[in-house]
Amino acid sequence: MKQLFFHSGRPVVAETSGPGLTPGRVLVAIHYSAVSAGTEGSILAESGRSLVSRAMEKRGRVDRIWGALRRGDLSDIRTRVERLASRRQAWIVPGYSAAGVVQAVGAGVDAFAPGDRVAVAGAGYATHADLVSVPRNLVVCVPDRLALERASTVALGSIALQAVRRADSRVGETVLVLGLGLLGQMTARILVAAGCRVLAWDPRAERIALARSQGVTGLDATSPEAVPSVTAVLTSGHGADQVILAAAAGAEAVEAAARATRRGGTLVLLGDTPVAIARETAYARELEMRMSTSYGPGRYDKRYEEEGHDYPFAHVRWTENRNMAAWLELLAGGRVAIDDLIRAIRDLDEAADAYVALRQGELESLGLVFRHEAATRTDMPVTGGPGSAPGAPRAAAASTPGRAATATPAPPSAPTAPAARPGAPRTPSAAHAPRTAPLRVAMLGTGAYATSSILPALAQLGDRAKLDLLAGSVPARRDPLARQFNFTRTTASYEEAAKDPQVDLVVIATRHDLRAALIVPAVAAGHAIFCEKPLALTEAELDQIETAIRTHDGFLAVGFNRRFAPGVARLREQLAGRRGPLQMAYRVQAGPLHEDHWIRGPQGGGRLIGEGVHMIDLMRSLAGAPLERAWVIPGGGVAGGASNADPAADNFHIGLRYADGSSGTILYTSRGSKQHPKERLEVHWDGRSIELDNYMTLREAGRKTPLWEAPAPRKGQAEMWRLVTDAVLSGAPSLTPLDEVLETSRAVLALERGRRGE
């Protein structure tokens, strides 16, 4: 399919694989997608900013760079410059408002069926792509009498409608709209349809004239500062009942909007504006200021948007989904017209020229809509009112390289693959056979950790590894990463990627609950496997993994990178030849995690499993002896509540005892200061004491100079990946014995059950 990206300040239309279909999602072939000129224009400009402007953006960033220069730390400077450069080179997926036809529905979706005409919303979901997968609460049916190009404005119209709801404007009241871009025009027309007297102002006379054509009273004011006095004249000195600021404006415009309201009036901030008003202005009017949050209640709530949990109708009358449906009804009934606002409809292939025209003000309308391959012929004309109806589908285009031959692309069931590499098919027994560089890597997962840690480490391996196949169900995350890191192929299917015959190493970095189900088929396919920690969330999953690895003699590495950190390697040198047991203490100041973060839910299993396993593995590697006993003490909850009642659920003590008499304690807390180093390890034995401070400094008591130090935390990512690729290329065994991996994994599951009081 085709999809629009922003890269280095330029719009780029590229071919890519489609999205996956997961439970609670609706797969939609997009016919039209609407452009949000303000939002997308600023994103496009941001993507083209220079390294210097990015470096100078924040004072802390400047201070850190100057500090590195004073130290002469070229490595730290290079790392920071590369990080800024990667942001500039990132591929961004724009778009959040579109309309099309349902192709398929995921499990749990019963409100839609294939063939339904729908409108969709949401950044990262309703993108400028030929095929999208959207959560069900961001999908609404399009009335039969409404054309899809009009319905594609569903998100934009819902934003305007939510601003009117926040203003709580009533029939006969006077409402002032400041800013008459696309959203301001829509807002003003909704207010007229609601029976309000609407005043409006914009610095551009042609926009005021456009509003006047729809029954709006345009203000003859030379500047924002003159708006309050003109408004007072038109309202017998009272001011507007409500003012909606629908433009990205500065503090002067916000102050003018506040002064244009009547006593006891309401100011609604719809645009990107400063939230600051002089106290005397607000006090004299007893002004009520309200924010308008995007499409309405449910926005930014993952449980609503991603998990599909609706709000009760009786208690939340207008959710973002119900606002979307209401906007479409306004259009379909002819109560709000937008034909004169959106006259520019361009094929998606013309996106680059269209954005240039938009930026230079050369479009013939305020709005811009992209027409996609699946659009029907009667949806294509620019003219035609809201009563125009859909017609017959466009004939299928001739097949060309890289483009589907049908008007409505089907969801991919497997990755697009080049011809198989010559040679006999691999068998499961080949898991430890030497490979030839470069290793062909399949990456499963596109989350934050994969993006910030795993992919940069893999990219630095040079000709030892080739990033071949990237699997992810959300194209808005997957496809920009694929281009940024030069993957050869992409796919929506984790399962197909795990079994793909073209790869050597499968890297699994999905959410925690999916990992066991991907390891087993990857092992059976004869692949070497790297799985990010934790390995599994249940004993049954661990049993399945153990059976698969032992049956196929599989190669399995787990992302316990801390045991490979340079400071730990230096510490291990000091432990060589020790006579007595170790006493170890590990403190983690993790910081709070949002209550709704996925790590807390069934997909993550909690922070003890997700991150505490790191510390347990490191202590096991230092002790070099089996774990005999482990116990956990929850860190305490809210007053009068159970230990699990703490909103963070991130506070616990762990005790560990090993077969050689060594012991360890772990204090994991989210309650400390952000200024405190995140991690600190103390090891005591044979009259010696060594401390590893945040993986930056290794010091021994009694020594003036450090045993080892680094300018920034080095937690072993680069070292681990060099060892993993060395082992796979040479056919060597896994880095950590399977029994040790399983021991640590089973221990952390038992400790989590204990923390929960089970």
- Whichever domain contains 358, its CATH number is 3.90.180.10
Q: Would 265 be classed as within a structural domain?
A: yes
Q: Would 385 be classed as within a structural domain?
A: no
* pLDDT, position 433: 82
Task: Report whether pLDDT(385) > 50.
Answer: no
Sheet holding 663-669, edge to edge: 627-634, 652-658, 663-669, 583-589, 679-685, 688-693, 697-700, 708-709
Residues 696 and 573 both lie in one domain: yes
Name the least confident of 71-80, 514-523, 598-607, 612-621: 71-80
Q: How many CB atoms lie within 10 A of CB 346?
A: 18
Task: Report whether pLDDT(61) > 60.
Answer: no
Which one of 265, 292, 319 terminates a domain? 292
Nearest-CA neighbor of 142 among 153, 156, 127, 126?
153
Neighbour-count burial for 485-523, b at 16+ CB within 10 Å, e otherwise: bebbbbbbbbbbbbbbebbbbbbbbbbbbbbbbbbbbbb
Over its C-alpha atoms, the chain yields an Rg (Å, rounded) of: 30
Neighbour-count burial for 142-159, b at 16+ CB within 10 Å, e otherwise: bbeebbbbbbbbbbbbbb
Query: What average pLDDT does this structure show over 232-249?
Result: 93
Residues 472 and 451 both lie in one domain: yes
- Cα 422 to its chain centre, rounded Å, is 39
Q: Would 744 be classed as within a structural domain?
A: no
Task: Report whether pLDDT(255) > 90.
Answer: yes
* pLDDT, position 756: 86
Task: Report whether pLDDT(443) > 90.
Answer: yes
SS3 content of the chain, % helix, strand, coil (to 5): 35, 20, 40
- Determine if the peptide bond prior to 534 is cis (ω within 30°): yes
308-344 pLDDT, tens digit each: 999 999 999 999 999 999 999 999 999 999 999 988 8
Q: Would 721 be classed as within a structural domain?
A: no
Which one of 292, 313, 342 terminates a domain? 292
Residues 248 and 359 both lie in one domain: no
132-164 pLDDT, tens digit each: 999 999 999 999 999 999 999 999 999 999 999
Portion of the chain with pLDDT greater than 90, in percent = 66
Residues 215 and 177 both lie in one domain: yes
Q: Would 620 be classed as within a structural domain?
A: yes
Q: Would 654 be classed as within a structural domain?
A: yes
Residues 575 and 697 both lie in one domain: yes
What CATH number did the domain enclosing 620 receive? 3.30.360.10
Residues 148 and 170 both lie in one domain: no
Cβ pair 461, 722 in contact under 8 A:
yes
Which one of 340, 359, 379 terminates a domain? 379
Q: Rounded CA gap, 235 and 265, in Å?
A: 13
| 653 beta partners | 633, 667
Listed in sequence order, the residues at least 6 apart from 236 whose beta carbon sits closer than 8 Å to its beta carbon are none
Residues 315 and 225 both lie in one domain: no
471 vs 601 pLDDT, higher one? 471
Name the least confident of 165-174, 179-188, 275-284: 275-284
Cβ pair 439, 421 in contact under 8 A:
no
Q: What is the pTM of this model?
A: 0.74
CA dist 212 to 201, 215, 218, 242, Å? 10, 5, 6, 19
Residues 203 and 148 both lie in one domain: no
Residues 623 and 520 both lie in one domain: no
* pLDDT, position 328: 98
* pLDDT, position 317: 95
Name the least confident of 211-220, 249-258, 718-727: 249-258
Number of folded domains that form the chain: 4
Q: Rounded CA gap, 363 and 343, in Å?
A: 9
Nearest-CA neighbor of 210 among 235, 189, 196, 236?
189
* pLDDT, position 757: 85
Q: Would 351 be classed as within a structural domain?
A: yes
Query: In degrees to the nearest 10, what's the CA dihedral of 167, 173, 174, 177?
Result: 30
Counting every residue written for the chain, the total comes to 758
Residues 308 and 369 both lie in one domain: yes
652-700 pLDDT, tens digit each: 999 999 999 999 999 999 888 887 889 999 999 999 999 999 999 999 9
What CATH number did the domain enclosing 181 receive? 3.40.50.720
Cβ pair 600, 606 in contact under 8 A:
yes
Going by pLDDT thresholds of 50, 70 and 90, the confidence category of residue 421 is very low
Largest distance between two CA atoms of the chain: 93
Q: Rounded CA gap, 138 and 304, in Å?
A: 9
229 vs 643 pLDDT, higher one? 229
* pLDDT, position 90: 74
Domain that holds residue 330: 2-153+303-379
Going by pLDDT thresholds of 50, 70 and 90, the confidence category of residue 424 is very low
78-106 pLDDT, tens digit each: 665 656 555 555 788 899 999 999 999 99
Residues 540 and 662 both lie in one domain: no
Residues 216 and 230 both lie in one domain: yes
Q: Would 722 be classed as within a structural domain?
A: no
Three-state DSSP class for 229?
helix
